[in-house]
Structure 1
Amino acid sequence: MSPRKGYRKPATSCDGCLAWGDFTGSLCPACWQFARQHAAGECGACRRRQPLKSGYCRLCWCQARRNIRIATGKPTSAGHVMAPWLRQVADLQLFFIGMHHHRGSSTTPRPRGHGRRGRPRKPPPPAAVRPVSHWCQPVLFDGVPRDYHRFDRDAHPDPASPWLAWGRHLAHGLAEARGWGRRVRLDVDRALVVLLSPHAEGDVIRYSEIIAPLRALDSSIERTAEVLEAMSILVDDRRPSYEDWLEKRLDGLAAGIRREAESWNRTLRDGGPRTRPRDQATVWAYLNAVRPALLEWSARYDHPREITRDDVLAHVKTLHGHERRQTLVALRSLFGWAKKNGIVFRNPTARIKVGTFEYSVLQPLLPQQVTRSVEAVRSPAARLALALAASHAARAGAIRALQLDDVDLGNRRLTIAGRTRPMDDLTHQMLLAWLDYRHRRWPNTANPHLLINQMTALETGPVSGWWIKHELHGQDATLERLRVDRQLEEALVHGPDPLHLAEVFGLDEKTAIRYANSARALLDQAAEQQLR
């Protein structure tokens, strides 16, 4: 049973290091991380069954470090130095969470120019360029995957490797340009030591080979891949998700129909000699729409040229409304492509009218629906996105694409999708709150986009579509509904004038006419109710 809303777990002791403190789960964060990297077994000192590093649990390692500090005054964690002290652990000192990481005396003054814990800041790696090799040994067996799990961090690292020096130099430049934190830099450096120490001229590193070893090291796969791409030695051999989806959607079709349907869908996705690529959502929607018809025809035919006009009419008679229209549009695209490429002799969908789509009257949101959405958002980013959709009718894609240069706080102007508009008080307050949070949370990020998160703060791209909408999931007043409601409100307040709507929101003529018609119908309905 999940805990009730607002429940807070009381302070307790960790099952691993027995430290007392406030944390979630049964392990403190340090022991949880330790357990991810090491297998369980019987500890050589305390005899408890715990995750072990070199035969000893984390609590015994902490106790051995404490004994060394007491005896010598110098903390150390090197395995060959710690081994005698680990074997001598007999008693265990209990701690509060966080005391294991305490180093030195709090009364010792920190020298200026040193790091957070009094350590000297690590100097940047020396400048390096791509190693020059006049000859390289040809690969005997191409395609044999490397096993980086066999890398021994004590015996195999090669600090003198020119490839490692070049990788560290490029990683430092990327870290400075992207605003990577100290932990990310150390994770990437540890991964580069494993991947580049045995590297030689002519070798390539495949993306599929580094996923498992870097996960075992708890290093950032994406950041390490950026460095390897900058070195031009990474081969992205991952299978695209589109291939798995396409294979699943074509399953069950006759061989000839499957072959032509696959070629048509790939042309939609990638484009052709005189065909531009379509949006990914269109590629998915078209194949999903024609799949039931193709499955039905695969039971009788083996090739699209056997499908007749009567077969198409018989199938669409079973459909109604938007489903019928969507299926006909997709079938016309399929057979139009087949006729153009000489796959069929006649287009069976020719002269079959799709019909006009009658849009329903748009309805405004109720005040309680908007109130629930306002109460649901918690983060400053979600509040800003809600304000942009509700006040400026901004689409989710336009909000994701907003950049810092699009915001003019001094003149209180905002540029959304290429159109500059004045900034209202609500948007101004939400912007100030978000920019303050953004600066405190990611002060060194180089991402030019206005909205960022933990992932994109280390990159330069926008946030995902799911991330910007997930706090309003399940609400009636979503970002899209708030955008529609704002445009409908403009039509109700200033009159159902399509030209005014097109000028204010940059709508095309058909969309502006639709909003104007909906506003006119709502105003007529309100007038009739008053007369009654």
Structure 2
Amino acid sequence: MLLYYGLAPTYAQPLKKYGRRTVGGRERLHWVEHIRAAAAAPTRDDPAVLPPAVRGQLPLFPVRRMLSVDICRRILQRPLAGYADVVEHTAAFATETGISKPMQRKLHEMLRLALAVRDADDLVDELVLNDIPNYVRSVRAILLRAGMLRTWEEPPEPQGRIQPLPARPPRRPPRPRRRATPRSCEHCGCWFSAASLVVCMPCAAFAGLERTRLEASMGRCERCRRASLPLADGRCRGCRTHVATHGRAAEPQSWTQLWFGPPLHVRVHGRRRDNDRPASARNPVSEYLAVPGQQTLFEMRRDWRAVAKLGQQDLPALTDSAEQLLADLDSAIKEQRWTEVPATKTRRTLRILMSWLGADAPVLESDIQALVETRHKVSGRRVTQFLEARGLLTPDPEFRRDTHQMRLEEELGALPQTIAQELRAWIKVVRDEGTWEHAGRSYRSIFRYFHVLKPIIQGWIADGVKSLREIDRADIETAIASRKGTPARYIHIVLRNVFRALRQERVIFRDPTRGLVFAGIKTIPPSVPSDRLAGILSHAKDDFQRFVMVLVCVHALSGTDIRRLLLTDLDLSRERLVVRRHGKRHIIYLDELTYHCASAWIRERHRRWPATTNPHLLINRWTAVDTAHPVIGTNTFSTVFRPTGLAMPTLRQDRIFDEAFDVEDPLHLMRLFGIAAHTAMRYINAAHPERTAKLPR
């Protein structure tokens, strides 16, 4: 119905309401009561109202809660720990004070509010009572009877002789209390919470300290150029703190770090500034403990330089869970029999992390890497694996990438942009990410190809080549002719692989390696004099080196075969060793020397690492405790054969060559050493050249 100002339509009639009834002599409408009842109907447990607090989480700014009876009615069915005990104490309190039943129900509502807004522990902070709308004194008395109230600690009284106070003037009426609000310090610019202060407490203490001891005065800072600040040695407190935290490299800068609250403890010229503490309180529990479920306000990487020079006695105290975690690490070190140096570095790293972050929440892998980059004599890899095995690590994908992939990206970044893009297209094809389907290679294999390709690319760049489209057949032949033998063969294989991939992806118009044939390499395997082979096992220092020498010099195993041997491949009861090669197996029947060396190594392996889970037959002190179960590195074999003066491939080829002199059957070489047919024929032809000589016509 429309109503016009000053006009009343004669045909307007009142709206008919159904369900009229008379209550107390007054006629009321039933639909009005229905709407009011529906509006007043509470939600028994609304999760959006007073969500549970996270244990140990500190508020960024103190803000009062707006509590009311309506909020209490929306959480009537929420289970609250300790509420049943509070109801019993309310009944006892009602008996002593004589309050009525309706009053008890109202107290129950206020108590429910107090229990709902408390922290994640079992006590209610006394400051919470200021937010309760009604019956604060009664609620406080009931919580005290139940032992569920954390009272506000009064400041301690001064010790020593108390001087008599002078006569005070007549007391003035109390001023209204001002609420603490967040504000910025006028001296250092940090954000803090106060009611009437304009500078933070460390700046106020700095001004009084420097005026009395260093005879400083108010003036303009030499670094930030701000005026009317208390100075010491020509600089304000904010600049001195910033330079002391970030090092001498921050001196030419004119800006300072933004601090939240009072700045951290820093040392300036050997003296502790800002918030000096007595010696008895230097090692409390860290206030930066990681809280489970707490989200980050800013995605920033921690800077551990401030704690890089602290000793063990200067670190914060450990929590109970952190001490238990360090005890677990000590048990793992004792059980797996770590050596002294890795054990000391790992325990020091975990001690620093647990002192500042605690063991209640997972540790970021980026924090561990940042600590390792900042401080010496720490170990990040073993700590990462130890925490990951216990579910206390948040992995970072940046540190989980393949090392060869990161090295490839670094190498490509140093090349011209056009050539780098073309090589990235080649890598995609080799990784089976291109247009055509391929077998797919690992980044380790691709990096080996790039190691052969890099000097050729650098030579082309020096000649003024800006793209691989400029390369023709003559450039390919020149690159191959720069080497001889096997290196030249490798260059031909790599260049053919690169340009075929670029042609498939249509990066280049024509493949310059198409139809280019490289002649086969026919070289005679080297032969080692007998006097150099005599006493070669005497150079072995332990059972590990002796076993490796026997596998190479007797059974002609390659480094790849030895590194991939599993513990289950060695069967001493049947006196045999299984070598797995690309889907096929080669069985070695152990002779007496190999059997004794293998059994001695097995006993040594079990004595040193009885609890290791690495399945490989040959392990060292690093791979034994690594949860990723890697194989031993190739540098290990260089260390084993360096005292002999001979290379490992040379000894292996000499063993096959010596066997080819005794027998003229290539099938015998294939069964004994598990080599291919063309390889066996190459050794037979080298040992017996008369068999391949052409008869005269």
What is the one-letter code of the residue matched to 2:638?
K
Give the conservation status (yes or no) of the 8 Å contact 1:400–1:468: no
- 2:596 equivalent to 1:435: no
Cα distance per residue 1:124-144 (max 9 Å; x no partner)? xxxxxxx994x4142324235
> What secondary structure is seen at the aligned counterpart in 1 of 2:587?
strand
Deviation, 1:275, is 3.4
- 2:622 equivalent to 1:450: no
Deviation, 1:370, is 1.1
What is the one-letter code of the residue matched to 2:550?
A
- Give the distance between the partners of 2:558 and 2:480, measured in 1 at CA: 34
Give the conservation status (yes or no) of the 8 Å contact 1:400–1:463: yes
- 2:319 equivalent to 1:160: yes
Q: Residue 211 of structure 1 is aligned with which of 372, 375, 387?
A: 372
What is the one-letter code of the residue matched to 2:319?
A
Task: Tell me what 1:228 maps to.
Answer: 387
- Give the distance between the partners of 1:369 and 1:279, measured in 2 at CA: 39
Give the conservation status (yes or no) of the 8 Å contact 1:161–1:197: no
Cα distance per residue 1:136-195 (max 9 Å; x no partner)? 142324235344427674465453365x36744864785587454788667644432321
- 2:543 equivalent to 1:383: no
Task: Tell me what 2:510 maps to.
Answer: 346
Task: Tell me what 2:681 maps to.
Answer: 513
Q: Residue 358 of structure 1 is aligned with which of 518, 521, 536?
A: 521
- Alignment map for 1:279-428 (pairs within 5 Å): 282-298=445-461, 299-313=463-477, 315-316=479-480, 320-353=484-517, 355-371=518-534, 373-417=536-580, 418-428=585-595
Higher relative contact order (Cα pairs below 8 Å, separated by 6+ residues): 1
Deviation, 1:196, is 2.7
Compared CA separation, residues 281 and 295, structure 1 to 2 (3 A):
same
- Give the distance between the partners of 1:263 and 1:330, measured in 2 at CA: 15
Compared CA separation, residues 359 and 279, structure 1 to 2 (3 A):
farther
Give the conservation status (yes or no) of the 8 Å contact 2:657–2:687: yes
Task: Tell me what 1:195 maps to.
Answer: 353
Q: Residue 473 of structure 1 is aligned with which of 609, 617, 642?
A: 642
> What secondary structure is seen at the aligned counterpart in 1 of 2:577?
strand
Give the conservation status (yes or no) of the 8 Å contact 2:637–2:648: no
Deviation, 1:385, is 0.8
> What secondary structure is seen at the aligned counterpart in 2 of 1:392?
coil
Give the conservation status (yes or no) of the 8 Å contact 2:318–2:354: no
- Give the distance between the partners of 1:403 and 1:252, measured in 2 at CA: 40
Give the conservation status (yes or no) of the 8 Å contact 1:447–1:457: yes
What is the one-letter code of the residue matched to 1:255?
Q
Deviation, 1:424, is 0.6
Deviation, 1:338, is 0.9
TM-score (norm 2): 0.48
Compared CA separation, residues 291 and 285, structure 1 to 2 (3 A):
same
Give the conservation status (yes or no) of the 8 Å contact 1:177–1:446: no
Give the conservation status (yes or no) of the 8 Å contact 2:495–2:513: yes
- Give the distance between the partners of 1:294 and 1:272, measured in 2 at CA: 23
TM-score (norm 1): 0.62
What is the one-letter code of the residue matched to 2:506?
G
- Give the distance between the partners of 1:240 and 1:404, measured in 2 at CA: 26
Q: Residue 656 of structure 2 is aligned with which of 487, 493, 500?
A: 487
Deviation, 1:367, is 0.9
> What secondary structure is seen at the aligned counterpart in 1 of 2:578?
strand
Deviates more, 1:483-492 or 1:279-288: 279-288
- Give the distance between the partners of 1:321 and 1:365, measured in 2 at CA: 21
Deviation, 1:470, is 1.2
Give the conservation status (yes or no) of the 8 Å contact 2:363–2:393: no
Compared CA separation, residues 397 and 201, structure 1 to 2 (3 A):
same
What is the one-letter code of the residue matched to 2:467?
H
Give the conservation status (yes or no) of the 8 Å contact 2:402–2:443: no
Gaps of 5+ in 1: 1-54, 56-78, 81-130, 526-532
What is the one-letter code of the residue matched to 1:464?
G
Task: Tell me what 1:261 maps to.
Answer: 423
Give the conservation status (yes or no) of the 8 Å contact 2:372–2:378: no
Give the conservation status (yes or no) of the 8 Å contact 1:335–1:347: yes
Q: Residue 272 of structure 1 is aligned with which of 429, 433, 449?
A: 433
Task: Tell me what 1:76 maps to.
Answer: none
- Give the distance between the partners of 1:307 and 1:361, measured in 2 at CA: 35
Compared CA separation, residues 487 and 266, structure 1 to 2 (3 A):
same
Give the conservation status (yes or no) of the 8 Å contact 1:501–1:512: yes
> What secondary structure is seen at the aligned counterpart in 1 of 2:356?
coil
Structure label with greater radius of gyration? 2
Aligned residues: 391
Give the conservation status (yes or no) of the 8 Å contact 2:524–2:686: yes
What is the one-letter code of the residue matched to 2:385?
E
> What secondary structure is seen at the aligned counterpart in 2 of 1:348?
coil
Identity %, equivalent residues: 23
What is the one-letter code of the residue matched to 1:264?
W
> What secondary structure is seen at the aligned counterpart in 2 of 1:456?
coil
- Give the distance between the partners of 2:609 and 2:620, measured in 1 at CA: 9
Deviation, 1:232, is 2.7
- Give the distance between the partners of 2:325 and 2:406, measured in 1 at CA: 34
RMSD over aligned CA atoms reads 3.9
What is the one-letter code of the residue matched to 1:308?
D
- Give the distance between the partners of 1:159 and 1:296, measured in 2 at CA: 58
Gaps of 5+ in 2: 1-269, 271-278, 281-289
Give the conservation status (yes or no) of the 8 Å contact 1:492–1:523: no
Give the conservation status (yes or no) of the 8 Å contact 2:425–2:502: no
